[in-house]
Structure 1
């Protein structure tokens, strides 16, 4: 097999176990590629040459951001190899992945696009870095973050804690906030979440359960794991709508979904990512509440075909 036709794949053991490797090998073979599992414990030079690196190094990047010496060294080795092989296609570029896993950076990038002209927005947000309640009140007020609001860890990957979120309903509960975090206004959306999975210039959307509608109140802070609430088939009590909620079923507009996928692909400079979207109950506007690098792609038909088409197009572009 030609070295210009070798694809290196790196994922965590947990992620690789979910990959249908035989199917991936078959699809790669159909496109004339050989695929192999990259080992980050050995030198990349000894495993090369290869023309494409497909990776999910989000946890390594997140841990490196938090000062993990081992992960910093791994990233330095990978980035050095990439810089020494400028024709290598990397899906996705590590600097871009860094931006997407930092929730404040991610929301800021979304906010800077023109999606708002199509009534697509990201709810008001700010970073909270202190436990001083008066300072928190001021920061929330300046950023127009309203009650109730969600508190999310700054990094969207790296550990189980990345999915541990709380809902703050009132000023009295500001003492419950664990900083640093990102505070984001909660949007009522009738407990329906729409996940857009993007793979190159293709995308698909699946519906998942989500949080029920909440109002500002004197209730106690709610703590939950977002992956438990919104995974397929979840039966969380937090997703059960109150009897008084009248649900007006809204089917997402495919034109808007396509616009979100194409706009964010360009804004983030990435090919493999997922977008969590809800439709605001009171206005019908689309709210982007999170973006994830290399999601699970559950429900994405022929994902490996889409991945190989993306790779093939990138190689064709590089050759022209």
Structure 2
């Protein structure tokens, strides 16, 4: 008789303790249940601002991660990164050229470690001109709807010449003005709504000007974590009618519009406004942007033109957004990290 499942025993019963009792003639063998293999621990080194640590590394995420064998370890930015770890994944959102050089050098020297995300890719979406150009260049099938970007103008010159530049570009009022550079500060997420072109001279370049699109006052935040996608509704700027254009003048400043407190999920909304974009459309958009941007952690702000059921505009892309504001984010993040740990293990076996 052989053990470890190589040959069958004569017969088997379970004793009252749950151990398997095998009997053959007068020989009785007691085997304890085989414990399942323990999952390999995944070590995630993180370099985040204190604000991002507080919003992202919430107790509910840390508890679930610990139960799944994921450990978060703080990176000491004052010490050489190569002396720390070893890490399976490096998660970072710090700014500055020096940090960019450090993380890129580490990424090159440790090809099996998964770095979220490459500094050059992050830099690409810190500029609203380059981030939306990737969307404009997409050629998605339109069977589920059309995805595009609003007509826009990038302006970096003397603000006094801005009204003339708007006229030359043929942009229609009202216009949404946003800072060109997204640097993680609250100011970089401010926006202004201009009802007349002459008041634009009061703004401070560099700016991106976008034609305002009526969208029922609701935008869709599409959170992307690798191949995982989740969509939430947020209240946005209200629609603007033509009568208002004749009544109002000037530039109106708005703080960050689509914060968690402005959630429109569960609100009593017109179904034509509240209906989420089709899942196949979002899947295609997320896949194409992941490939073009070279990013795993980002979100896309989308609006649907009011009265046009299948015409969507991407108005912003944010790197490593506030996932902690998203319901159930901890499950999405931990599942993603587990998939990265599995990918790293496979890479090591092949190398």
Give yes or no for TM over 0.5.
yes
Q: Which residue of 2 aligns with 1:197?
A: 223
> 248, 251, 255: which one pairs with 1:221?
251
1-structure distance, mates of 2:136, 2:339? 27
Which residue, out of 138, 148, 151, partners 1:121? 148
1:204/1:72 CA distance change after superposition, 3 Å = same
Aligned residue among 23, 41, 44 for 1:7: 44
Which residue does 1:53 correspond to in 2?
A: 90
The answer on whether the counterparts of 1:278 and 1:286 sit within 8 Å (CA) in structure 2 is yes
In 2, Cα distance between equivalents of 1:172 and 1:139: 10
* Contact kept? 1:188, 1:281, Cα under 8 Å: yes
Judging changes above 3 Å, is the alpha-carbon distance between structure 1 residues 73 and 187 closer, same or farther for their aligned structure 2 residues? same
**Unaligned regions of 5+ residues in structure 2, if any?**
1-39, 264-269
Aligned to 2:334: 305
Structure 1: stretches of 5+ with no match in the other structure: 61-70, 236-245
2:183 alignment counterpart: 157
Displacement of 1:26 in angstroms is: 4.4
**Given that residues 149 and 167 in structure 1 are in contact (C-alpha distance below 8 angstroms), is that contact kept between their aligned partners in structure 2?**
yes
Superposed, which structure 2 residues align to 1:1-320 within 5 Å? 5-20=42-57, 22-57=59-94, 60=95, 71-115=96-140, 117=142, 118-131=145-158, 133-134=160-161, 137-138=164-165, 141-142=168-169, 144-214=170-240, 215=242, 216-217=245-246, 218-226=248-256, 229-234=257-262, 248-252=272-276, 253-284=278-309, 285-297=311-323, 298-301=325-328, 302-315=331-344, 318-319=347-348, 320=350
TM-score (norm 2): 0.75
Using structure 1 for the length normalisation, give the TM-score: 0.82
Q: Contact 1:125 / 1:183 at 8 angstroms: preserved in 2?
A: yes
- Pairwise CA RMSD: 2.7
Instruction: Confirm or deny: 8 A CA contact 1:128 1:136 kept in the other structure.
Output: no
**Higher-Rg member (1/2):** 2
Q: Using the TM superposition, give the Cα deviation of residue 250 of structure 1 relative to its aligned residue in structure 2, in angstroms.
A: 4.5
1:317 is displaced (CA, Å) by 5.6
Compare 204-213 and 258-267 and name the one that shifted more.
258-267
Aligned length: 294
How far is the alpha carbon of 1:135 from its aligned partner? 5.8
Question: Distance in 1 between the 2:150 and 2:255 partners?
Answer: 20
Matched residue of 1:35: which SS? strand
Shift of 1:187: 0.9
